[in-house]
Chain A
Amino acid sequence: MAVVVRMPALSPTMTEGTLAKWLKTEGEAISPGDVIAEVETDKAVMELETEEEGVLAKILVPEGTAGVQVGAPIAVIAEEGEEFDLDALLAESGGAAAAAEETPASEETAQPTANTEAPAAPAVHPGAAATDEDDEESYALNGAPDPARNLSITPPADSDPVLPEGTEFVEQTVREALRDAMAEEMRRDERVFLMGEEVGEYQGAYKVSQGLLDEFGPKRVIDTPITEYGFAGLGIGAAFAGLRPIVEFMTFNFAMQAIDAIINSAAKQRYMSGGEVSVPIVFRGPNGPAARVAGQHSQDYSAWYAHIPGLKVVIPYSAADAKGLLKAAIRDPNPVIFLENEILYGHSFPVPQVEDWVLPIGRARIARAGTDVTIVSYGMGMHYAMQAADALAEEGISAEVIDLRSLRPLDMPAVIRSLKKTNRLITVEEAWPVCSIGAEICRRVMAEAFDWLDAPVLTVNAKDVVLPYAANLEKMALPTVEEVVAAAKHVLYRD
């Protein structure tokens, strides 16, 4: 049966091309794999192969013709001696014009509805994040679509759990809280295991996994070779199959070796598979500058991971948050980046002694209530923010400190609620200023709460330099309590 040969698209960007040369003449026999013509695309000269058997019955576009549209008929292949009606053939095979229709008759597409609903107002426990009553207003954006709305598909539906009257609190280091979280989840679920460099026999490079090997054995507390790319990928494959890996990076600086696996193989997996493959995995370890370890061991990756759809990014400050959020991260069906801090490992905080302390991911916490200025921070930045709030109080300034706890999802309603109270906002973080979490908060506040600002938002960050080794320079490079105090006073016009 006669078939029409059309100008093919031979590259992702080709819309037209030159029919450079016919390699077969009319009437010549052809068989599968034969090159019948040369086509010049926007990139190269390509050979046009046929998979048909027969003869080149008619050439419709002579060689040397430029600007032949993709899909235009260029020749007819038929069986030896076959008669055909060219017009009928062209009409039957989609006409003389380009072949690909733009779109099929498209269905009426429903507007996304699930995404715009505000989370249900949860029960509140005193001293923790406030209510959601203003959420709808703050997300309204004057009707403009929010490009980051995919995060509200899984809204943090719950607030922190309400603690029973008389709950006992015990002082614990962040290090101990993290270990307890892993141990509790490993007892609860056989699928949970820990892998990383020195997590087992060495008891953790920073002693976070102390005692876990003794309790759970080498099957579930696995010392890896120093091959971050490999074991991150291996953990992701294990998560495909339904295990719940906790992958420890000795520090997140070394996770740079594995960032392709984290982003391309973990974060994007569910979307690319249309929801078929999930990756329940936690990548955790210390992040950000430690002390005197210089450029390659002192970087804050919070904004890097917060940039990526498909990841959740958690960064606790207190021991109670470290424990409750790590337990939540291990149970989460998504890849979670859990950013710790080497300096905070040794800091102690009260941790509630309850049966199963799990916190919702995506909910900020009011770490200190205030009325004059809002300080938004996270992780080690909280260390500066809390001290700055004390210093400001001595000058009669009441600062409200918001600990974000999660960077993705980002609890903007909590930030905006506080801003509506104080009308002044600064951010504090140890990351570099360019494209930082502070910069993101500025973007969101501009769009969602501009009219509530009485002064431009200021961000306090590490200086935009490689972290130096010299003690004096290192100190200059990192944010200081004084800088936070100065920024707060500046937005209050009191400097």
Chain B
Amino acid sequence: MAASTSGKKGGKSTGTRGARKRDTAKANHPPAFGREEELRALRDMLLVRRFEEKAGQLYGMGHIGGFLHLYIGQEAVATGVFMARREQDDVITSYRCHAQELLAGADPKAVMAELTGRLPGVSKGKGGSMHMFHVAGHFWGGHGIVGAQVPLGTGLAFAAHYNGEDRACFAFFGEGAANQGQVYESFNMAALWKLPVIYVIENNRYAMGTEIHRASAKAEELFMRGAAFGIPGEQVDGMDVRAVKDAAERALQHVLAGNGPIILEMQTYRYRGHSMSDPAKYRSREEVQKMREGHDPIEQVKRRLLEAGWATEEDIKAVDAEVRKVVAEAADFAISAELPPEEELWRDVYAEF
């Protein structure tokens, strides 16, 4: 069922035109993946997880400084969206951006070298963890101010619309950013001008240390946040990569058909603290372990691969080993790569004609 018909065909409407929860029965059974899709999801999510684990280790060893926000636990969200998006579609996100950077096609070595502040880093070591871009892969960052990427992503969609191009933008933001005023300014303009933008709320339940119910009214229904603007929304199991891909595909069709924006609320969870220096005392260990054991996005894929007989334990281990090798090489490269020389201090402040 196309998202554009939501709330009109007698689907499970929550009372506001356009916005709806996913049908529960359907959410439990999103369209199945084929073998190749399952294997791609496994490999992409493992790459993100192993990369982030290694980054955490390098931080602990003092190779990475400042803020480091890890994506561990949320892998299915970026992976599923990237499986749905076409090459030309734009992506923009917050400071928790390593996954999108990797999935957009950036070289893991260059991404890790950015974290260690080295010249071959994706931003020549001048952006760091929060400011990564991969324009060749239509990934526009990596933005450090909570919510700032939402109007920027709306502007990318505006440019596609202005140029009459077959292109949409996935603008990611957290459930904490969903309370920012500029998000609603963007919703208004995107709906008013029918811009092809998909707002992806990554609801990991904690805005730094603040549990969602302490910060957000109607915390269970963030997908409804566009209702006042007539923007449809959908709540998605963000721990199931199949559900994410399915929702993102339908959302893409919706915006490309000229219907204006749509909101996807991805219900997900981060296993680590907000950043490396967050002791995460605001939630119990049991809660984290419960998510890891019961809902881990990677374990779900592994289980399905084994049950379908599409892969053996050894096959899965081989994928993991291959990814670990990529990540280990990236780390070795990143800690030995050249530092940016002094002239880099002065470069890139201005563009020249």
Task: Give me the interface of A with B, judged by CB distance under 8 Å.
Answer: 6, 8-12, 14, 33, 35, 41, 43-47, 51, 70-71, 98-101, 103-104, 106-107, 109-112, 115, 149-150, 153-154, 193, 219, 224-225, 227, 229-243, 260-261, 264-265, 270-278, 280, 309-310, 312, 331-334
CB distance from A216 to the nearest CB of B (A): 13
Q: Which residues of B contact A71 (CB under 8 A)?
A: 61-62
Counting from the closest, the 8 A-B pairs by CB-CB distance are A237-B155, A230-B185, A233-B151, A8-B60, A100-B62, A274-B124, A241-B159, A11-B277
Whether A107 contacts B338 in the complex (CB less than 8 A), given A115-B346, A154-B350, comes out as: yes
Which of B39-47, B79-87, B126-134 interfaces with chain A? B126-134
A99-B61, A238-B159 known; 14 new pairs, CB 8 Å cut-off, are: A47-B285, A71-B61, A104-B337, A109-B343, A111-B343, A112-B346, A154-B350, A154-B352, A227-B189, A233-B152, A233-B186, A237-B151, A309-B349, A333-B353
In the complex, what residue of chain B is closest to A239 when comparing beta carbons?
B155
Task: Give me the interface of B with A, judged by CB distance under 8 Å.
Answer: 53, 56-57, 59-63, 65-67, 90, 92, 118, 121-127, 131, 133, 135, 140-145, 148, 150-160, 162-163, 181-182, 185-186, 188-189, 192, 271, 276-277, 279-281, 285, 288-289, 292, 335-339, 341-343, 346-353
Q: Which residues of A contact B280 (CB under 8 A)?
A: 47
The answer on a CB contact under 8 Å between B135 and A225 is: no
The answer on a CB contact under 8 Å between A235 and B338 is: no
The answer on a CB contact under 8 Å between B152 and A275 is: no
The answer on a CB contact under 8 Å between B143 and A265 is: yes
Measured CA separation A115–B160 after assembly (Å): 37
Q: Which residues of A contact B163 (CB under 8 A)?
A: 241, 243
Q: Which of A193, A264, A310 contacts B148 (CB 8 A)?
A: A264
The answer on a CB contact under 8 Å between B152 and A109 is: no
Measured CA separation A380–B67 after assembly (Å): 44
In the complex, what residue of chain B is closest to A273 when comparing beta carbons?
B133
Measured CA separation A310–B351 after assembly (Å): 9
Measured CA separation A292–B250 after assembly (Å): 55
Q: Which residues of B contact A264 (CB under 8 A)?
A: 143-145, 148
CB distance from A272 to the nearest CB of B (A): 4
The answer on a CB contact under 8 Å between A104 and B67 is: no
Q: Which residues of B contact A12 (CB under 8 A)?
A: 65-67, 277
CB distance from B89 to the nearest CB of A (A): 12
A-B contact pairs, 6 of them (CB 8 A): A8-B61, A9-B276, A109-B341, A241-B159, A243-B158, A274-B125
In the complex, what residue of chain A is closest to B342 when comparing beta carbons?
A109
Measured CA separation A70–B59 after assembly (Å): 11
Q: Which residues of B contact A273 (CB under 8 A)?
A: 123, 127, 131, 133, 141-142, 348
The answer on a CB contact under 8 Å between A333 and B148 is: no
The answer on a CB contact under 8 Å between A153 and B349 is: yes
The answer on a CB contact under 8 Å between B155 and A149 is: no
Whether A234 contacts B151 in the complex (CB less than 8 A), given A106-B339, A310-B350, comes out as: yes
In the complex, what residue of chain B is closest to A9 when comparing beta carbons?
B62
The answer on a CB contact under 8 Å between B337 and A230 is: no
The answer on a CB contact under 8 Å between A10 and B60 is: yes
The answer on a CB contact under 8 Å between B156 and A240 is: yes
The answer on a CB contact under 8 Å between B126 and A272 is: yes
Q: Which residues of A contact B338 (CB under 8 A)?
A: 104, 106-107
The answer on a CB contact under 8 Å between B277 and A10 is: yes
Q: Which residues of B contact A280 (CB under 8 A)?
A: 351
The answer on a CB contact under 8 Å between B158 and A238 is: yes
CB distance from A334 to the nearest CB of B (A): 5
The answer on a CB contact under 8 Å between B59 and A150 is: no
Whether A9 contacts B61 in the complex (CB less than 8 A), given A104-B336, A260-B148, comes out as: yes
Whether A241 contacts B156 in the complex (CB less than 8 A), given A231-B189, A234-B186, A271-B348, comes out as: yes
